[in-house]
Structure 1
């Protein structure tokens, strides 16, 4: 006789444990259990059969792996949680007795310090693992960096998130690791390539955030505590890998003045690159230091120009040894589009090098400054109201080559007056009238920066002039597929042969049908009058005109069919065959209605037949191109059906799914092409 198995000792009941049982086994409270699971990366699991996994009669909702809970028994943080719980009891006892001094002393002296260093090393044994898990960390830390301080979100947490995020941005600026960015409804997406790993995160727009009560900030605060430790480890490793001192020097006064990225000073082997990032003079005055910097920049630009001229004369043998990234071109028009390689750090770092930008007050300064610095721009100016750290605050500076404006151009009468001079005792900053244009300067909208970054080259600035209709801002991660709609490509290259003429014919027939509605109403009224006369005659004859009406309708149908046959004799055989099928279908439906009327004992009115035939003719009224397109589609469907019959059942299902998705994609692409065609026609008018 075999052993009798005890219930709950094997199978899913042994592999899974409920949350209540796990809390009792660890002997901690539920909030501490949640916090510990977040730190260790342990999440609830879903068993295949909840009845078998549950050891009780009541249904349980949350299960964990038993081995995960067994692993938590040896966690050093459990002792810290118990110490913290015991200390909280002592503090509560002291406050109950009115001993406030003792309670403050206990909290200051005996509060346990919780460190997560050992957990970071356990969860990420290699540095590449930490980089792969950095997407969620950056998104959450950038979110908390933009939140207002409340009771649930203390200002210390916000300040630490801001500092870690700025340090990570400085690394991307120094190494030119940023690759793409996209403006979406949720916020601004960024993608950087760090040591071969693509990292993407989301930064919310800087609007006034309303913190609601339906968000559990305790759970999010636990994630922030873990992610701040992770990002500090990552920043330390990244800075030391390129020879920079971590943490960088932080100027609190400049940070209070709104300098943000300008409040940090990097030290180490990359200090020369950081000197180019440091601002010149906040008031924009041209002194000896500024002239020295300008002279250095001019020499750098001359060297860059000489290098470009030398690159033109490079021989073919030298080009083979060049480190430039090759591009893959399609071999034919119907070939697959190969994914192109990303930009290199040198190419990204030289995109905006020779330019000096000025950011207007209405444009978002933080994301623009970050993008420009990450792609090589060393001289960025903005108005003094946007904060410190600018290359110049003078909008009339002659060194400015590009100005970012996010407002439409105004006429001279609508321009606001020149701002009043500042009070005595302060330095007067030269100002120009708002809305005016400085000759020799390129004015662009902010989208030009993002599109240039995503394309990896400088685009035409006249397409992004203030007040101009901007090109579509598309996601750089969505590549156009074969057969799909591409907003960037011309419409003539995407549409099928004769598609525009066919749609124009269909729209013309629809407009003709709309114009003839009054005539249809008049015909209906005349037919109704005739029906009244016919009903009077039927009442006199005893109501036996059903057969006569059938014969008349049949004769009319035969005459119409014969006329249609003779009229379509000169057409192509395909069109004639399709016309015959339509007429046969019309006669069949009319005959069916006559039979139904006879069975019901009602006279079949000629008006009903006329109205039905009129509706059918409206629906089936097509031009020659539409008929040709329909016949072509029909042939293709027949060919696909023949191929489908030769497949196995499994392949047939896959083929049907593929055909369904292709048909849906083609319909959506045709719909978008129609919309674009209408818009282009309206613009031409």
Structure 2
């Protein structure tokens, strides 16, 4: 006789364990269990059958893998948690006896220190694994870096998050690893490519945050504790891989004045290991120079000025002008265009770090006071700009705080253009001309003093435009970065209606509305004429559509019953055949011309009589039609032709579907249904855009 199996010893009951059983087995509290699971990356699992997985009669809701809990039994952090629990009992006992000094001494000297280094090494065996899991870590740390300090979030945690995030941004600036960015409602999305891994994270806007009480910051704080350790390892590896000293030097006084990125000073381990943009001794953050010996600097200059010999020069051959032009022409990135309209879109090659990092290199930017300084500074420096200035009220570390500096090529503003009389007059505080003459001052000296005062102040009067400087809105920076080229600045001028800011990760599919293209490139055949008829003569369109529907019903009845219906097209065709058989009768009876038919319409006749009476002319039968009527008639004819062709295509598709199997026909119907919904949505958006463009033309 076979041995009877005991319940809970095999199957899902053995593979899964409830949370209560896991806490009892590990002999720790529930908060410590949650914290340990977050550190080790162990999450609840959902069994296929909860009744079979549960060992009790009550329905359990949270299950874990039994192997994961057994794996936690050998975790060194369990001893730390138990030591912390024993210390809490000692401190509570001392406070109960009134020994406050002893309790403080115990907390200061015997508190166990928890390190997560071994967990980082266990969860991420290779550095690529850490980079793949960096998205959530960056989003969480940037979120906490922008939060205010409260009882649940200590200031040390916020300061640590800010320091690690700024260090990571410095690496992206040095290596030009940033690729794309997008402004959304949630915040600003960034994407960087590090060692072939695409990392996407979100940075919230710097608004005043209201801390709600329904958020469990203990759970989030546990994630932050793990993510700070992870990002510290990642930053150390990234900095050492390009020859930089980690951690970089941090200026606390400059950070207190709002320097942010410019509070850090990057240094290389040695001249040979320094990156290319640090060999000349210039910092990549704010242009400050590092102290290097003259010999080392001379050797570095020699190395950087050496040209790599080409094969032609090694053979003693000189490059001709044609050869040089051919070489320079092949430096551009190849683009793969589809060979046909229905062909697949091939992925385009991405630019290298040097090409993408040189987008804003030759320009000097100045950020106005109303613009977001932190994201703009990060983007501009990550794409090559070494000279970014801003107003002194935005913080320390600017390249220049003088708005009237002549070296500034681009100024980013986010305020509308104001007319000359919109601003109040500046109060007169200068001495009168009589006083100037009494003091012996001339007009030239007064102008020089005014210029000196303006340059020393560093601010221009609102609405002032410096000749030769390009003024753009902040969106210009993001759109240039996403498209990888400099766009027309006149489209982003202050006060101008900006083009749509689209996500760089969403590509328009076939049949969907694409706001980057014009209406003429994506409108269907006959769509413009149908829209024109809807705007001008809706009643005529409805009547024609009803007639077409009736004709279709009559045709269907004729096909099914074989009977002819009076007034149908088949009867008209028979009459046409009879007329063709008797051409003499047609010659004798001239019939009614098209113009006479038009005159029979009472509305058209009345309109022509009114126009002729207003002009003082006599209405004749051969009066030419107006341009609007001609255009409408052409639109009607084209709309009818397109509708007829589409009806024929639909009938042909129905005949083809009859030859398909039931399974394939269902798949095709689902596909056609989805395409139809997409086309309807795209047509609605095109209709809205057509109305907006028409309203703009009327204005």
TM-score band by shorter chain is 0.7 to 0.9
Matches within 5 A, 1:192-207: 192-207=192-207
SS of 2:209's equivalent in the other structure is coil
- Alignment-derived partner of residue 80 in structure 1: 80
Whether 1:444 and 2:472 are equivalent positions in the alignment is yes
Matches within 5 A, 1:315-394: 315=324, 318=327, 324-394=332-402
| Aligned-CA RMSD value | 2.8
Number of residues paired by the alignment? 560
Q: Following the alignment from structure 2 to structure 1, what is the Cα–Cα distance between the partners of residues 521 and 341?
A: 11
List alignment gaps of at least 5 residues for structure 1.
Answer: 282-299, 304-309, 422-426, 515-560, 574-621
The structural deviation recorded for 1:628 is 3.5
Q: Following the alignment from structure 2 to structure 1, what is the Cα–Cα distance between the partners of residues 575 and 266?
A: 81
- Alignment-derived partner of residue 531 in structure 1: none
> What do residues 304-350 of structure 1 show as CA deviations (whole Å, max 9, x unaligned)?
xxxxxx99965476369x66532212223443322212221111111
Q: Following the alignment from structure 1 to structure 2, what is the Cα–Cα distance between the partners of residues 472 and 108?
A: 58
The structural deviation recorded for 1:96 is 1.3
The alpha-carbon distance between structure 1 residues 334 and 315, as it changes in their structure 2 partners (threshold 3 A), is: farther
The structural deviation recorded for 1:273 is 7.3
- Alignment-derived partner of residue 656 in structure 2: 643
- Alignment-derived partner of residue 491 in structure 2: 463
Q: Following the alignment from structure 1 to structure 2, what is the Cα–Cα distance between the partners of residues 675 and 323?
A: 43
Q: Following the alignment from structure 2 to structure 1, what is the Cα–Cα distance between the partners of residues 109 and 257?
A: 36
Q: Following the alignment from structure 2 to structure 1, what is the Cα–Cα distance between the partners of residues 425 and 505?
A: 45
Contact 1:174/1:273, CA 8 A, preserved across alignment: no
SS of 1:497's equivalent in the other structure is coil
TM-score (norm 2): 0.76
Q: Following the alignment from structure 2 to structure 1, what is the Cα–Cα distance between the partners of residues 575 and 212?
A: 71
- Alignment-derived partner of residue 433 in structure 1: 461
Whether 1:57 and 2:57 are equivalent positions in the alignment is yes
Whether 1:657 and 2:665 are equivalent positions in the alignment is no
Whether 1:115 and 2:118 are equivalent positions in the alignment is no
Among 514, 518, 529, the alignment partner of 1:486 is: 514
Q: Following the alignment from structure 1 to structure 2, what is the Cα–Cα distance between the partners of residues 343 and 460?
A: 21
- Alignment-derived partner of residue 558 in structure 2: none
Whether 1:404 and 2:432 are equivalent positions in the alignment is no
The structural deviation recorded for 1:392 is 0.4
Whether 1:104 and 2:104 are equivalent positions in the alignment is yes
**Bigger shift: 472-481 or 624-633?**
624-633
Q: Following the alignment from structure 1 to structure 2, what is the Cα–Cα distance between the partners of residues 434 and 53?
A: 71
The structural deviation recorded for 1:660 is 1.6
The alpha-carbon distance between structure 1 residues 61 and 419, as it changes in their structure 2 partners (threshold 3 A), is: farther
Contact 1:418/1:434, CA 8 A, preserved across alignment: no
Q: Following the alignment from structure 2 to structure 1, what is the Cα–Cα distance between the partners of residues 347 and 100?
A: 67
Contact 2:525/2:642, CA 8 A, preserved across alignment: no
Q: Following the alignment from structure 1 to structure 2, what is the Cα–Cα distance between the partners of residues 144 and 36?
A: 21
Contact 1:485/1:669, CA 8 A, preserved across alignment: yes
Contact 2:266/2:284, CA 8 A, preserved across alignment: no
SS of 2:471's equivalent in the other structure is strand
Q: Following the alignment from structure 1 to structure 2, what is the Cα–Cα distance between the partners of residues 469 and 5?
A: 76
Q: Following the alignment from structure 1 to structure 2, what is the Cα–Cα distance between the partners of residues 418 and 203?
A: 40
Contact 1:179/1:343, CA 8 A, preserved across alignment: no
Q: Following the alignment from structure 1 to structure 2, what is the Cα–Cα distance between the partners of residues 311 and 162?
A: 54
> What do residues 599-647 of structure 1 show as CA deviations (whole Å, max 9, x unaligned)?
xxxxxxxxxxxxxxxxxxxxxxx95444444333332333333333333
The alpha-carbon distance between structure 1 residues 119 and 663, as it changes in their structure 2 partners (threshold 3 A), is: same
Q: Following the alignment from structure 1 to structure 2, what is the Cα–Cα distance between the partners of residues 103 and 274?
A: 53
The structural deviation recorded for 1:512 is 7.0
The alpha-carbon distance between structure 1 residues 317 and 361, as it changes in their structure 2 partners (threshold 3 A), is: closer
- Alignment-derived partner of residue 614 in structure 1: none
The structural deviation recorded for 1:505 is 1.6
**Bigger shift: 500-509 or 238-247?**
500-509
The structural deviation recorded for 1:191 is 0.3
SS of 1:215's equivalent in the other structure is coil
TM-score (norm 1): 0.77
Whether 1:275 and 2:277 are equivalent positions in the alignment is no
Contact 1:325/1:344, CA 8 A, preserved across alignment: no
List alignment gaps of at least 5 residues for structure 2.
Answer: 269-273, 289-303, 308-318, 430-454, 543-564, 578-634
